[in-house]
Structure 1
Amino acid sequence: MTLICAVIGSLLAQLPYFSLFGALIIALILGMIFQTAGTLKSQAGIGIGFISNKFLRLGIILLGFKLNLIQLAQAGIKTILLAVVVVSGTICLTYFIERKFGVEPELAILAASGTGICGAAAVMGISPQIKVPAKQAERQRENEVLAVAIVAIMGTIFTFIDLGLKPLLGLNATQFGVFVGGSLHEIAHAVAAGSAAGSIGLDNAIITKLSRVLMLAPAALAIGFWYQKHSQKTQPVSDKKAKLPIPWFMGGFILASVLGTFLPFSTAALTALVKVAYIFLGMAMAALGMSVNFRVILKRGLPAFAAAFISSVILAIGVLIASKIWF
């Protein structure tokens, strides 16, 4: 069932209007629809857990083939520095605002990661670093779905806003591409908006967005260390000697990007590997959708959405200024 959701999501994401949401979001929604089968959750619980865990990691590793390190290096130090500032600044800002709005730490950091790095893939990549007790596992899955919903909806809203404001911003094609690649949440959002500025705008949007994707591995490591230290303050003394979480699958992500950059893979082979990555990630997203509690999400969602909206506005303004000054 998750494979069906992932394949349909990948196919629909190639269509003009559906492409704005991306394959992962569509797969998540299809998983939610499948959940309407009354006993699905109880009958398929083990399989859902396996797919949302193991297939997620495999998909993240294969996603590394999407990153061409030479192209990122050729983009220049300004693009890399912008990505570092955007990712670190947005994660810290969004987490701060989310907490001020009363959002729990686990949901706040997932929403912040998705907003700052690369949307749903970042949420799913960071989530394994948030180690919660077994009794909180279901609530953490709800946090994942809610965080994905936040970045999907915010990214879509701001894609339309950016396209509507494009004639008024006074940006050339390069600047507009950097602006949308540096401020929008999903790769699909950056592609949709960047294409409005032609091939130059699209290329710059993709490169800037992929520079943020490159930050996924170090961000996962840093957030894992931070969350462990943060959570130790409220854990019993017997639990405080747990090992710091090392996201080994992120090492695979980096290795895949190195292999894809320096080994003689054909363009067709790299494209196929990335498509397979999105199939595995889509299956993980569909499995997540099959286990969501809609009532709880609706009840807890408003403060998290409001905080993410404020953060997204600040992010867009900051990147707009940077694109005008530096590019």
Structure 2
Amino acid sequence: MNVVLSRNFASAFGLTLICSLLGSYLAGFPYLEVIGALVISLILGMLAQTYEPAISYSQAGIGLISNKFLRLGIILLGFKLNLISLAQAGVKTITLAVFIVTGTILVTYNIARRFGVEDHLAILTASGTGICGAAAVMGISSQFTSKEGQEERDREDEVVAVAIVAILGTLFTLIEIGLKPLLHMTAVQFGVMTGGSLHEIAHAVAAGSAGGPVSLDTAIITKLSRVLLLAPAAIIIGLWYQRKRAKAAGSTNGEKGSLPIPWFMLGFILASVIGTFVPLGAPVLAMLVKLAYLVLGMAMAALGMSVNFRVLLTRGRNALIASTISSVILLTFVILMSKLLF
């Protein structure tokens, strides 16, 4: 049995690694860099479903990779966060990030619920829109335990949420680049706008670079200020969701669930501390960040191999509308704040 599992894992490892490497390669092309390596890896994983014999043989390993490799990738992504640079960005940038993340999650979730979107999909879409795209969707989803018989539907929700932030992030990247000459912003203001409003790090980089090096640096710092909030957001959302589910189940026995501490998020913070204060050197840090995206790409590919993407056209439609509305509100808010404060 162990031999079979080992072979399943080896097969899944090879398939997802190919998708991740190819996703990283394709993301280097001019028109595909806006989409980003993680989303491309997800799409490649979905396309790999057409080779059914390999997918069926690797199914057990695919589930392991989509779960464990996700956590490892998010931990390694912590090396991208330089805490000193974030501190130097000032109180204004951090405060703005807190308002953006909190406000966007609340607005997106409530709009989605008004449109009839289920709780699980609504909070995943809201988290991806407010924090950092696909990584936030997967990080927040790991806080939730699927009910018996609900596992496949929850995985579909993850894919739908990732697809939504990928579509909107790409669309709003193009919109913000088009708005640049009309807004008459300084390089810093444009960087704050792109980093504060766009969904993925890749989106912020693509749009921020259109304003020059100062704009790009500002966009990255602003975006990473939002990424830093992934850990506390995961704890708060996990605890809220746990209590909401217990209340819905009619729990009246006075027992309280344990605090859903995402241990891999603590690893994420520890990695950022090490990357900031331990003299590892720029080449080592760059290698660790590349490894983070490689591992996350494998997790995204594994997710794509296990879920039918067509659910986006059914259950994902209202969530997409809700996220679109909140993204417009977010962009308007960030434009105003960047003009007033920076």
What is the identity, as a one-letter code, of the residue corresponding to 1:23? A
Per-residue CA deviations over 1:215-266 (Å, capped at 9, x if unaligned) read 0000000001000001112236489654332100000000000000000011
1:39, distance to aligned residue in structure 2 (A) = 4.2
Deviation beyond 4 Å, 4+ runs, structure 1: 236-242
Structure 1 counterpart of 2:291: 276
Per-residue CA deviations over 1:91-120 (Å, capped at 9, x if unaligned) read 011001110110001000000000000111
Structure 2 counterpart of 1:322: 337
Structure 2 counterpart of 1:234: 248
Residue-pair matches, total: 327
Structure 2 counterpart of 1:139: 153
1:28 alignment partner, one of 42, 48, 54:
42
Q: Structure 1: how far apart are the matches of 2:249 and 2:59?
A: 28
1:59 alignment partner, one of 73, 78, 85:
73
Matches for 1:198-209 after TM superposition, within 5 Å? 198-209=212-223
What is the identity, as a one-letter code, of the residue corresponding to 1:230? K
Q: Structure 2: how far apart are the matches of 1:43 and 1:207?
A: 43
Q: Any stretches of 5+ residues in structure 1 without a counterpart?
A: none
Is 1:159 matched with 2:173?
A: yes
Moved more, 8-17 or 102-111: 8-17
Q: Structure 2: how far apart are the matches of 1:13 and 1:224?
A: 32
Q: Indicate the SS of the match to 1:152.
A: helix
Matches for 1:76-115 after TM superposition, within 5 Å? 76-115=90-129
Q: Indicate the SS of the match to 1:17.
A: coil
1:41, distance to aligned residue in structure 2 (A) = 4.7
What's the Cα RMSD here? 1.4
1:38, distance to aligned residue in structure 2 (A) = 2.8
Per-residue CA deviations over 1:261-287 (Å, capped at 9, x if unaligned) read 000011010000000011110010000
What is the identity, as a one-letter code, of the residue corresponding to 1:169? L
Is 1:180 matched with 2:207?
A: no
Question: Could you tell me the percent identity over the aligned residues?
Answer: 66
Is this contact kept in 2: 1:117–1:213, CA < 8 A? yes
Q: Structure 2: how far apart are the matches of 1:177 and 1:140?
A: 35
1:296, distance to aligned residue in structure 2 (A) = 2.9
1:46, distance to aligned residue in structure 2 (A) = 1.2
Matches for 1:184-199 after TM superposition, within 5 Å? 184-199=198-213
What is the identity, as a one-letter code, of the residue corresponding to 2:181? P
Q: Structure 1: how far apart are the matches of 2:172 and 2:310?
A: 26
Q: Structure 2: how far apart are the matches of 1:51 and 1:236?
A: 35
Matches for 1:1-16 after TM superposition, within 5 Å? 1-16=15-30
User: What TM-score, normalized to structure 2?
Assistant: 0.93
Q: Any stretches of 5+ residues in structure 2 without a counterpart?
A: 1-14
Q: Indicate the SS of the match to 1:44.
A: helix
Is 1:223 matched with 2:201?
A: no
Is this contact kept in 2: 1:232–1:240, CA < 8 A? no
What is the identity, as a one-letter code, of the residue corresponding to 1:114? G
Q: Structure 1: how far apart are the matches of 2:54 and 2:332?
A: 44
Q: Structure 2: how far apart are the matches of 1:82 and 1:219?
A: 15
Q: Indicate the SS of the match to 1:21.
A: coil
Q: Structure 1: how far apart are the matches of 2:106 and 2:77?
A: 25
2:136 alignment partner, one of 113, 122, 137:
122
What is the identity, as a one-letter code, of the residue corresponding to 2:269? I
Matches for 1:36-75 after TM superposition, within 5 Å? 36-75=50-89
